Amino acid sequence: MVMTGGTSGFGAIAAERLTRSGDVRLILGARRTTAVDGRIPAVGERIPLDLADLASVRAFATTVRERLGDTPVDALVLNAGVVLPDVTRRTVDGFETAFAVNHLAHHLLLRLLLPALADTATVVLTTSGTYDPANHAGLTPPRHADAELLAHPDRDPGLDAKPRKAGEHAYTASKLCAVLTARSLSEHPGFRNGRRTVVAYDPGQVFGTGLAKQLSFPLRTAWALLGTPVVGRPLRRFSRDLNSRPDAANTLADLAVGGAPAPPGRVLVALRRARLSWPDPSDLARRDEVAQALWNDSGRLVGLSP
């Protein structure tokens, strides 16, 4: 199994669970490959990966395939993500950082490892309920999934003048892209026969993770506080969207190993009150032409053919 976002937050808990039995060989992409202050769990094989650098993504994919040899990848979990306070930051490739990390890097990694997937492989892309305006999640919902404009938001005529709102849009749009990518992949020849599975996983609102580490001090403080049992547990009684880190992690692990099979024709799975549901994607995420354009344009941006 190959995983991003497995060294912090609920992804780290999922990684620990996956390796606990000893039956799963887990390869983790991580910026740090050794434990730092005990925050990175001592599980899995770590290979350097910087999702803000497409050359690093290519090197990671090459190393994975070299280490595995003829052994196929039975699960690919694309869980890493970041939310930023604005859209001013750029990767070494010149793309807006949140979109590049959350979507473009994962698109490239998926495409590079696609030939190495097992005949019964599972692909999980972590999305967020914030991608769908109907969820009223509180963040600026995505206006589009135009890869060119998301990669270069200064070219977007609809860019919000408020930095915080623009940053929220970059995040929610990248999560829309995860759902659209899952839909496109489900139509790939290697997935049409039903033996391979792809899902976009919405874990609900999970406080206390490292997702907010780039935000302002007040927001980081609130995020951490809401993730504590003394505050988070009572809140979860009143909001169906809130989930604990262990619940989000256990569900991610179940999806990765095929323990929560998708109903026919479903690619979006949402965790609500620690229970799975399989909702319809948003109106925009159901548009085939939007999904196809995103797939093609993302491939072009990362140097691949459609």
| pLDDT for position 38 | 45
Q: Give the pLDDT confidence score for residue 210 in this predicted structure.
A: 74
Beta-strand pair 275-277/268-272 = antiparallel
Phi/psi for 41 (5° steps) reads: -65, 145
DSSP for 123-174? EEEE--GGG-GGG--SSPPPS---HHHHHSGGG-TT--SSHHHHHHHHHHHH
Which stretches in the chain have pLDDT values below 50? 36-38, 40
Kindly report the pTM of this predicted structure.
Answer: 0.92
Residue reference for tokens 């319809």: 280
- 77 within 8 A of 3, measured Cβ to Cβ: yes
Q: How far is CA 20 from CA 121, 139, 188, in A?
A: 21, 36, 33
- 2-301: CATH homologous superfamily? NAD(P)-binding Rossmann-like Domain (3.40.50.720)
Residue matched to tokens 């740090």: 32
Per-residue confidence (pLDDT) for residue 230, from 0 to 100: 64
